[in-house]
Structure 1
């Protein structure tokens, strides 16, 4: 299983830009931008918590498990 970040979808559903999310969460714009571009990137738990708090959602709302591309 892989973890996919849903930060972009949640932010866009709220009508938030990357800039707004960066300011509200106090997370660097470059980090927010990279999560929008690559939902499979590694993100530390503190950053994930800050993004969730800014978006007023649970951390669980920002992640999803997706199957690996490999076939067994």
Structure 2
């Protein structure tokens, strides 16, 4: 009985953790554009510099710039990018369509 309860609890915790992690990582905001290129140009940074300073994977940074409009972003990555530029989220994110 104790093994079954422990196994059930572990499965529940894992399931809850995966759901919470997914919800935190993917943030649906309508359509937005991240002003990464403009902010990088103001500072004389390349996209690789943005990735290095923010700690966000280069391919993620590049895809955010290339895709233009986004409807799903990794919120933790957006926070890191904003922190690297020393700007607020409002200064980084341009709402295109809600």
TM-score, normalised via structure 2 length: 0.61
The alignment yields a C-alpha RMSD, in angstroms, of 1.7
Name stretches of at least 5 consecutive residues in structure 1 with no aligned partner: none
> Which protein shows a greater Rg?
2
Higher helix share: 2
Identify the residue that residue 92 of structure 2 maps to in structure 1: 62
Identify the residue that residue 37 of structure 2 maps to in structure 1: 8
User: Does the 8 Å CA contact 1:7/1:62 hold for their aligned counterparts?
Assistant: yes
User: Does the 8 Å CA contact 1:3/1:64 hold for their aligned counterparts?
Assistant: yes
Instruction: Tell me whether 1:19 sits opposite 2:67 in the alignment.
Output: no
| Greater length-normalized contact order (CA 8 Å, ≥ 6 residues apart) | 1
Name stretches of at least 5 consecutive residues in structure 2 with no aligned partner: 1-29
Higher strand share: 2
How many residue pairs get matched? 68
Runs of 4+ in 1 over 4 A off after TM superposition: none
